[in-house]
Amino acid sequence: MVNLTFWGVRGSTPCPCDENRRYGGNTACVSIEAPGLDPIILDLGTGLRFFGEAIAGDEPLRALALVTHLHWDHTQGLPFFTPVNRVGAQLDVHAPKQSSGSVAELFDEFMRPPYFPVRVSDLRGDITFHDTSNTELHWGRAQVTVRDVPHVGETNGYRIEVDGMVIAYISDHQQPVDGDDVADAVLELCRDADLLIHDAQYEPAEFALKSDWGHCTIGYAVRVAAEAGAKRLVLFHHDPSHTDDDIDRILGTARALGAEHGVEEVVAAAEGLTIGLGAAIDTTLAELQSSAR
């Protein structure tokens, strides 16, 4: 069984408040765990702190972090990830190549005084940064495909294949302003995925006002899933202004669209939601969604 857990589901900025308590207010972080496989972490947003708490006390950390890009909502959790502050811990961090410096230099730039008192080099564990674009990686028995995704600045999408399951992770995705074409690289990542985790930041009226902010509508997320033949879609990177009630409504719209276009199931990512992917899936995502609340 491959288990995916959502630790942070929000885009742009942490925003915990009473109105979004059910879905959560922490920024992007998802873990992938399977027996005998060191964990894979998708993005290092503020949700990462809670993954760190969940695995505290285990053996020294050995994990792979696949970072889509260096915006705050995907990196800000690293200084608060306590498992990496232990002797013997090892964290491999992949992020897209940048023209302004290596990924290691850029993490060093934002994690230093006066912005934050602790530097990467002060942590007791070892963090190795990799400049990673358009390539394939192996992590234990997992295979990872890395491709460019349209956003603002260099951004990766990831396709993770493990134990016969395919997970596609497209956290931030600028949809074309004119038309609804999907980039070939994105379709390649999402092709026939068992689970597609996709940007779902805007409703159409919001996109009309923020059409070049690097994101897409819920309808476009469904469009990507349908065109790629992805079986299940998880709406992710919720807008910080969207309340639980807004997301409930958006989910209803997305499910209706999904049914129209052949996407079997649609769920909205919620903090604490774990999805088990394996041969014996007997719980639908909709049931998981209600049990997570």
The residue ranges that bind Zn ion (CB under 5 A) are 11, 71, 73, 172
Sign of CA dihedral 128, 105, 65, 168: negative
Do 292 and 272 touch, CB atoms closer than 8 A?
Answer: yes
Give least dist CB 46 to Zn ion, A. Answer: 12
Least separation in angstroms between CB 280 and Zn ion: 34
| Distance in angstroms between the alpha carbons of the first and the last residue of the chain | 23
Separation of alpha carbons 156 and 266, rounded Å: 23
Alpha-carbon separation of residue 61 from 43, 74, 205, 231 (angstroms): 16, 20, 44, 32
Name the minimum Å distance from CB 10 to Zn ion. Answer: 9
- The residue among 46 and 289 lying less far from Zn ion, judged by its C-beta, is 46
Minimum CB distance to Zn ion smaller for 33 or for 239: 239
CB of 68 vs Zn ion, minimal distance in Å: 7
Cα gap 78→254, rounded to integer Å: 32
Q: How far is CA 235 from the centre of its chain?
A: 10
Closer of 68 and 145 to Zn ion (Cβ): 68
Cβ distance to Zn ion smaller for residue 11 or 258: 11
* Separation CA 204–CA 195 (nearest Å): 24
Helices marked H in 24-166 — which ranges? 48-55, 103-110
Residue nearest to Zn ion (CB): 71
Residue 174 or 277 having the CB closest to Zn ion: 174
Give the C-alpha separation, 164 to 147, whole Å.
Answer: 20
- Which run of H or of E encompasses 226? helix 218-228
Torsion-angle region of residue 229: left (phi > 0), alpha (psi -120 to 50) or beta?
Answer: left
Q: By C-beta, is 29 or 142 nearer to Zn ion?
A: 29
Work out how close the CB of 237 gets to Zn ion at its nearest, in angstroms, rounded to a whole number: 6
Q: Determine the length of the chain.
A: 293
| Shortest distance, position 172 Cβ to Zn ion, whole Å | 4
CB of 216 to Zn ion, least distance (A): 12
Q: Which is nearer to Zn ion, 33 or 172 (CB)?
A: 172
Q: How far is the CB of 27 from Zn ion (least distance, A)?
A: 7
> Rounded to whole angstroms, how far apart are CA atoms 270 and 259?
21
Those residues whose C-beta lies under 8 Å from the C-beta of residue 7, and which sit 6 or more positions away, are 26, 29, 30, 31, 47, 48, 49, 50, 51, 271, 272
Rank residues 73 and 244 by Cβ distance to Zn ion and give the closer one: 73
